[in-house]
Amino acid sequence: MSNSKSPLIRINEVSKRFRYWNNSPKSFKQILINLIKGKFNLGNKATLTVLDGVSFDIYPGEFVGIMGRNGAGKSTLLKLISGIYMPTAGKIEVNAPVAPLIELGAGFHYELSGYENIFLNAAILGFGQKATQAALPEILAFAELGDKIYMPVKNYSSGMVIRLGFAIATHLTAPILLIDEVLAVGDVGFQNKCLKKIHDLHKSGRTIILITHVPEAVRNHCSRCIVIDNHVKVYDGPAAQGVDIYMSAVGA
């Protein structure tokens, strides 16, 4: 990347391995039985590598698409950037607040009204009261729920829930937005509206990382594409070429 600005996100030789306990005694009962049998073992440790030495930098204002087959390690990468997981090896530097959009409406309480859930969800996403109040009119306008916003969320259709979740997540302003396949839900009209909203956010200076399986989304919106396959980065560069590499990897 020929960019003179300093990177917002710096991923340096990052690996993630999950530890698994085979036959692990996840209970007192099992430990007791093992003790009676005269052995005290805590199960065999096995590790599963999900990411192996991945490095890249992301600069302010980029719109990066991340593609890869199922199980390639894309979501884990996003969780590492958002700080849900810690890397097993390597270093991750994130120099601005991040809004992870891994699940729309995370933590919605279905007995509460949509209005109450806006504040709840915003708090869960890490925003304070002032930021939420400031974004409230736009959230209400984007969600297009009208008076239904005061109804309990359990009476919403799934489309309405998604609309509200997306409205909250995209109108609270964090400089970096991480989006994980949330576009796979909702009807085509809503998907286009979301993509347009994401596009607008990018235009207004946000940095966006989008995980998706939709080639058109990457081709039309992203400035750059990273392809992850078999836990390593196999491509990093212009979007159109990246999509082709992804398409040949999935065998389509």
Partner 1 sequence: MQALISLQEFGLNLLRPCGVDLFCVGKKFLVFNLVSRNLKAKYHRSVLGLFWTLLNPLATTLIFYFVFKMVLNVKVPHYLAFIISGMLPWSFFSQTIMEGMESIVGNHGLISKVPIQIQIFPFVGTVTNFITLVLALPIVIGTAILTDVNLGSSILLFPLYLSLLFLFTYCSATILAVLYVLLRDLRHVLGIVLQLWFYATPILYHESMIPKQYHWILYLNPIAFLFVDIHAILVQGTYPDLHHLPVTCAWVLLAICLTLLIHRFIGEDLVEQI
> Interface with partner 1 includes 107 (CB under 8 A)?
yes
Cβ distance to partner 1 smaller for residue 54 or 101: 101
Q: Are 86 and 231 in contact (CB under 8 A)?
A: no
> Interface with partner 1 includes 109 (CB under 8 A)?
yes
Site string for partner 1, 222-251 (x = CB under 8 A): ------------------------------
Sign of the Cα torsion 45, 48, 51, 53 reads positive
Cα–Cα distance for residue pair 167/156, rounded to 1 Å = 15
Beta strands in 2-128 (DSSP E): 9-22, 44-58, 63-68, 89-94, 98-101
> Interface with partner 1 includes 114 (CB under 8 A)?
no
Query: C-beta of 172: minimal distance to partner 1 in Å?
Result: 12
Q: Which stretch binds partner 1 (CB under 8 A): 7-15, 127-135, 156-164, 206-214?
A: 127-135
All residues at 6 or more sequence positions from 28 whose CB lies less than 8 Å from its CB, including other chains: none
Binds partner 1 by CB under 8 A, chosen from 126, 191, 232, 234 = 126
Indicate the SS3 state at residue 133. Answer: helix
Dihedral (Cα; 97, 102, 107, 113), 10-degree rounding: 90
> Interface with partner 1 includes 106 (CB under 8 A)?
yes
Query: C-beta of 79: minimal distance to partner 1 in Å?
Result: 8
Residues lying near partner 1 in the complex (CB under 8 A) are found at 18-19, 26-29, 79, 82-86, 100, 102-103, 106-107, 109, 111-112, 116, 119-120, 123-129, 132
